[in-house]
Structure formats: structure tokens, C-alpha cells
Amino acid sequence: MIALEAVAIGIAQRTLVQGIDARIADGEFLAVLGPNGVGKTTLLRALCGIRPTLAGRITLGDAPLRSLSPTQRARAIAFVTSDEAMLETLRVRDVVAIGRYPHHPWWEWSETTADDAAIEDALRAVHLEGEEQRLLTTLSSGERQRVWIAMGLAQDTPVLLLDEPTSHLDVRVAHEILALLRRLATEGRTVICVLHDLNDAAGYADRLMLLGCERMLAYGAPDRVLTPELIEAAYGIAVTRIDTPDGPRVFSAVNSAGDERPSR
């Protein structure tokens, strides 16, 4: 379990969000929502221990997160983000193999059968099998996004953090990735990811965390979080909500032409 108690996060002592209280269970899929600049990525960085909190405490199991060594954190939590520097001289398989580094002593690297299997499974999961020898410079932005996700999967951790994993992906591939994350959570992995599409979040996540107005506005099941009042407070936009058998769906207010647009 990951627990956040009265957590405040920020950059250069400037508070972005405060008062975050949440307990994220094993095998739970949590989507973090909120407008640009609210602190979603900063929260993920705090959850993996690479950015300290301004206040409060984050624990992983029974241990304070910051008490764990970098290697211990890397074996427990994988952080997938697409804003890494381009590793232009590396091939797809080389990048995915980086995810296996926490499983080896720093002074010794020799790929094992377990490493090979984890890398191949990760490439297969994001549909990049057969592309192992391509240079990153030859990939589209969507393909590079899938490489970063595969690297996180190859790390084989019980907790997986993802920052906008569906950005740059077409609709079909985006839903394949979300379905993969849903399956990983069903199999017991804790998945926490930043999403911008509210309806995707409602369709795949167990719980949502909505950030806005420098605080956590809501935390809970999609039908409790995706209310017109909370969404307007967070994003400053009026929406209409429709409850479907698959959960709530929200749409932006009717525009001047009289049509409705899905809220993203």
C-alpha cells in the first residue's frame, strides 16, 4: 500500500498542491487528473522518491518512502515519463533493457535469461516485437512513447507510475495501453498514472484523484469525482454528465452551434 498523509508538493518552495490524503491499495489503478501546471507530474516524482515533499509523509508499505535507498525504490517503483533526453545512439531493445538495471549490482551487468524474458515480454505488451534493432531516431513520437512504457514494464516492479502514457498515441493504441494497464492492476500491480482525458480515466481507473485550486479537490470512485461542480472548480469549464452502464461520461457545455463535445 502507498499512503499519503497531509502531503504538500511544490517546486522551489512554491506550493502547488497541499492537503493530499490518500491510500492506494495493491492492485489498484489510480488516475491523477487536473489542469496543466497543477502539480500532477510533481506528485509522481514525489511518489517515486526523486522529489521531496514540502510537508506530510509518503509511505510504501510500512516504510517512509524517503528512508529507502535508491536501489530499493527502483526495485519497488517504476516511473515512466516521455520527457527523457533522446538516447539517439541506442536501439529500442537497449532502451528497454535499462529497466533491468535495478535488478543487478552496479558493478556487474550481464544479461540473464530472466532479463531477456522481461524485455521480450515488455516489447510484446506494447506491440514493438520485431522492432528491437531500430534506432530511437527512426521512431515516431507514439512509438517512442511505447518504448518508454516498455522500459517501465521491464523493470518489473509492484508499483508503476506513468506520466501521460497515452500522449502522442492514436486512439486505438491509446486504448490498448490503457487496457494493458487495467490488466496489470487486475493481476496485482499498483498503477498510478496522469491522464488528461476524463472519460478514459472513468473507463479504466478504479479511483480518480482530482487536483485543482492548489489542493486535492476529490479522491474516490469515478462517479464521485466526475461531477459537474468539481470539474468546473478544477478546469473552469461547465460540463454535462451522463451515467452509462460503463460509468460516468462528461461532455463540455453546448457550444454556440448547439452540439456537444466530449470533455478531455
Which DSSP string do the residues of 73-141 spell out, in sequence order? HHHHEEEE-S-SPP-TT-BHHHHHHGGGGGGS-TT-----HHHHHHHHHHHHHTT-TT-TT-BGGGS-H
What distance in Å separates the CA atoms of residue 248 and residue 262, rounded to the nearest whole number?
12
Cell of 173: 493504441
Going by C-alpha positions, the residue among 173, 170, 174, 191 that lies closest to residue 182 is 191
Q: Which three cell numbers stand for residue 131?
A: 522492432
Domains of the chain: 2-262 (3.40.50.300)
Question: DSSP letters of 204-227?
Answer: H-SEEEEEETTEEEEEE-HHHH--
The mean pLDDT value for 44-69 works out to 93
Number of C-beta neighbours around residue 165 at 10 A: 27
Q: What is the pLDDT of residue 21?
A: 96
The percent of residues above 90 in pLDDT, for the chain, comes to 68
* Reported pTM: 0.87
The CA distance from 90 to 138, in Å, is 11
pLDDT band at 260 (very low <50, low <70, confident <90, very high): very low
User: Across all residues in the chain, what is the average pLDDT?
Assistant: 89
Inform me whether the pLDDT recorded for 205 exceeds 80: yes
What mean pLDDT comes out for the span 29-53? 95
